Amino acid sequence: MPIKSIHNEAELLNGIARDDEKSFAELFYGYHQSLGEYVFLVTDSREMAKEIIQNVFIKIWEIRTTLPEIKNFSSWLFITTRNFTLNAIRATVREQHRKKTFQLQLPQEETEPSPDHNYDQFEPIIEQAIAQLPPQQKRVFVLKQQGCKNADIANELGISPQSVIKYQQIAIKAISRFVKAHSELTVIIAIIAVLKK
């Protein structure tokens, strides 16, 4: 998901590097909406999106003296946000695994039905979701899972890099809807979106 650079980005980065809190606030308000929409699309959680964006901007402040050295800040910002999102999802999945293991170790009479009892069914559900995609979307999504770059996928399929991004986004939405309809754990939607990028 490309992020448009705000018009006075370089000026703000230089200001932040000099500990200017007003520049930091302006940078935040310039980018937080589009980043938040992306994280929410991936995680389907407003709380998680809010926390992730907060952590991203905390990191920006922590490394503020090096900000003017970043050549393409908007791309760096998107990649950083994506990485924070992936880490948050991994932490959520690990916590769910931990809870599930703990539930299984309890005596049967002390346990209640776990909301993620169908965790082992996720992979078949994901495979079904991918299988129902239109051919071009499916090829883009599978190639992205394999770690291919947008430019390489575009060359292989004879389409533009922008079309690759569009097909990937549409595929993620379609898979998300399918998984939501067939699973109780919406966090798997996020896993699909960031799998092997």
* pLDDT tens track for 87-127: 888 887 777 666 665 555 444 444 444 444 444 445 667 77
CATH code at position 95? 1.10.1740.10
11 and 94 assigned to the same domain:
yes
Phi, psi of 118 (to 5 degrees): -100, 25
110 and 83 assigned to the same domain:
yes
Range of the domain at 51: 1-115
Describe the crossing of helices 122-131 and 161-182 by its angle, rounded to 10 degrees. 130
Of how many residues is the chain composed? 197
85 and 163 assigned to the same domain:
no
The pLDDT profile of the chain, 197 residues, written as one tens digit per residue, is 557 788 889 999 999 999 999 999 999 999 988 898 888 888 888 888 999 999 999 999 999 999 999 989 988 999 999 899 888 888 877 776 666 655 554 444 444 444 444 444 456 677 777 888 888 888 888 888 777 888 888 888 889 888 888 888 888 888 777 766 665 444 444 444 444 34
- Taking the model in full, what pTM does it have? 0.50
